[in-house]
Structures are given as C-alpha cells and as structure tokens.
Amino acid sequence: MRKRKYLDLDELTPTVLNDMVKAVYVHAPDKSSGHREQQLDISYDLVGILPASLLYDLQNGETA
C-alpha cells in the first residue's frame, strides 16, 4: 500500500509527488488569444486534482 510508505512525511519532495501521480490529463490547445495555451491537470492518489496555482505557490514557498 502506497499510503503507508508516506505516513511520517516531513517534506513534500518532487520524488514523493511523482510517486503519487495517478493520471495526467492534457486538454486540447487553445489559440484564441493569439498564443498557444494548453491546460494540464494532474490527478494524485488520495488527493485528486490540485489547482495549478496551489502547486505553484507551494513550489515558491508561499503558504495560504
């Protein structure tokens, strides 16, 4: 069971996040603004899909 592996986790590292990835959803590209933009959703085990803004804030050391 994967969840038992991380019971005493002190830090959320890229390795831990990669291990917890359940699925990656790539949406069709959008060029309506003149620039190509593409939405990407990542679903994590036991968590679901986290907003990209939350992951960006966590990566940059910001807290809510």
Buried b (16+ CB within 10 A) or exposed e, 33-52: eeeeeeeeebeeeeeeeeee
Q: Classify residue 64: in a domain, yes or no.
A: no
What was the pLDDT predicted at 28? 95
Q: Classify residue 13: in a domain, yes or no.
A: yes
pLDDT digits (tens, 9 = 90+) for 39-59: 888 888 878 887 777 777 777
What was the pLDDT predicted at 48? 84
pLDDT digits (tens, 9 = 90+) for 14-42: 888 788 889 999 999 999 999 999 988 88
pTM above 0.85, yes or no: no
Q: Classify residue 38: in a domain, yes or no.
A: yes
- Domain containing 15: what range? 2-59
Number of domains in the chain: 1
- Per the model's pLDDT, the better-predicted residue between 6 and 43 turns out to be 43
Amino acid at 43: S
